[in-house]
Amino acid sequence: MSKQAQHKGLMKTFEAVIAVLLITTFFVLYYSTRDTLPEFDTVNRQIKAFNALKSLDESNQLRTFVTNNNAAGLTGALQNLMPANLFYQVVICNPDCTAPTLPNQKATSVFYFVGGDVNSLSTRMVVVYVWGET
């Protein structure tokens, strides 16, 4: 076999190795980026806040607080349903309201929509911002 043929074969092998490395690198980089899951304490806070709102909704207290725009009364009612180690802020507003200023904590929020009652058909939104111990 001539030297030129050996050189040609070596170049083809080298090109194949580079191609395999490029493809492997692409797949490793593409599939190694995973979406991060939320932390369990954040999810647990959301579940506790949602269940508290749902309980008030099932007893028809939530609708009364919302139609009267009584965020303080709703906060007091939630105090009996939420764990003592959680801090929260309640906002009753239209669906396009802005978020309030919260403490520099890992806060999460729960949105609960109330369709109104017989006298008022406007949709209102209850937002409960929840964070842990400070």
CA pair distance 82, 100, nearest whole angstrom:
20
Domain with 88 in it = 40-131
Looking at the predicted structure, is the pLDDT value of residue 33 above 80? Answer: no
Classify residue 21 by burial, with Cβ atoms within 10 Å: 0-12, 13-18, 19+.
exposed
- Residues 3, 29 within the same domain: yes
| pTM passes above 0.75 | no
DSSP code of residue 85? T
CA pair distance 38, 57, nearest whole angstrom:
27
What's the pLDDT at 133? Answer: 64
- Residues 81, 99 within the same domain: yes
Domain count along the chain: 2
Mapped onto helix, strand or coil, the DSSP state of residue 64 is: helix
pLDDT tens column, 47-100: 999 999 999 999 989 988 988 889 999 999 999 999 988 899 999 988 888 878
